Structure 1
Amino acid sequence: MKDKFAKNINRYRKEKGLTQEALARQLGVTYQAVSKWENEQAMPDISLLPEISKILKVSVDKLLGYISYDKQVTIYEKEYETSQYYGGVNPNPDCYKVLELMPPTKHLKLLDIGCGEGKNSVFFARNGYDVTAFDIADAGIEKTKKLADIVGVNVKVFKADILDFRLSTHFDILFSSGVLHYVKPDYRQEIFHNYKSFTNNDGMHFLNVYVQKPFIAPPPEKEPYSYLWKSGELLSYYHDWLIESCPEIIIDCNSSGIPHQHAINKIISKKY
């Protein structure tokens, strides 16, 4: 718990633009005390946790590293609870670009960000990648495990919120499809810095985001925690990487039973 608290208080303090001295002043403690918390040398008195939570605007559970949700975060949590696979079991076509550009001719660690019901994660594992995946939906995680068992492959899957989870180990490939619109704009720079920092040299990112266009009507699904991207925004985070491709396309969708369209920006980029 101490290590998780140290990382979280450091992260949320910086997100609020507070120095250790400023936080200490508001809490009525010394800056050395805050420094010890962030360096895993000590924990604050339990009576301080509510005030820390109030100042940093984050729950005590999150500060301590626990995942606790009292509200639905995505519209898919209920959809995944059915026996059928909501998104099917065939991989996203973008998975084949990973095979083409980074074939598993050697040991490659791949992270599937927001794996849903696991169709892409299982596809990658079946083709020889060392796959780790996470999602926020319990039902999606269980279906990922079930699909992996049926196919006979290993996928290391766990529950995490994309807003809270940060990489602490390196990967060769980061893959994400239809998930990054859950990242609030204020979090994007810090999250992508983390993703890039924990990508091995010669590693690649295969990502897509939904972008806002005035000629595309809002989707019929009502998602209160969805934040569309702007054209070119995703590309801006990869100015220092090699851009293999970055197309923007319009796709037809019928996921809700109501025909509609999405504007999507994809990026394939490589770290040198």
Structure 2
Amino acid sequence: MKKLHLLLIAGVILQLNTSAQAFLGQSTNGKMVQAAAAVRLPFNNDQVETAVKAWLSQKGYSSSKTHGYILSRGVPLAAGSTGGGEGSDLYFSTSSPDRKVKDMTLLTLVPAKKNQPITSGSFVDSSKLDDARVYLDSLAGFVSTYTTGVQIGDQQESLRKAQKKMGQLRNDSTDDETRIRNLQSDLAQNKADQVKASAELQNYIGADTDKKQKYQKRLNKLLDKQSTLEKKIRNTQSDLADTKADIAKQQSSIQQMQQTLETVRNRQR
């Protein structure tokens, strides 16, 4: 699932035209249909809304949610466009023009006169639609730069966590390999001790029962320990194989993250 998500991000970045061009269209927020300026942006709705709020905040304007819109009051539209710089109430809304494309948003802007009621039919200030279109052109550039920066930060953080996990997996692998070597050394010593204990038992084969039982018990204990060591070696080898498989998967995931991060960075350049 993580790989699919990363591929979708990269695919959208590569396939969609980032030089968005605003146009005049319609807002269909709720049951009301009215004229609006609009622009298509290659990001999901939440990302676009976050960027719009950041844009307004940087310009010194507050925003709030009302009737499904992001509202900012008394905002001058694009300087140099028709209609001058008189402040308007701006109503932004987002929608997904194509459900099959996850990271695509239609951002619409309905300009209204200051403190224009919106509960009694259409409230668009038609004289400001061209200004709103020019305004969206400027805003689209900010959305792209801002959201791409956020994506880079998110990808860097994901990559950092993935690399940290890789380090932990490699430490686990090293620990397993060390444990296996130690266990194998213990097993070799155990077998040598068995040879010695077996020889001692043979030396006392004709001795009294207590002595024979003593050396037989020692040999049996060594045989039991051999079985335990062999089981530990098998289990640790299995753990090592699983860890190495996890390392391979993690390395593939890291490479995909690095490719996606580079793709996003290229978009910013």
Instruction: Name the TM tier (shorter chain).
Output: under 0.3
Q: TM-score, normalization: structure 1?
A: 0.19
Larger Rg computed on CA atoms = 2
What is the TM-score with the length of structure 2 in the denominator? 0.20
The structure with the greater share of residues assigned to strand is: 1
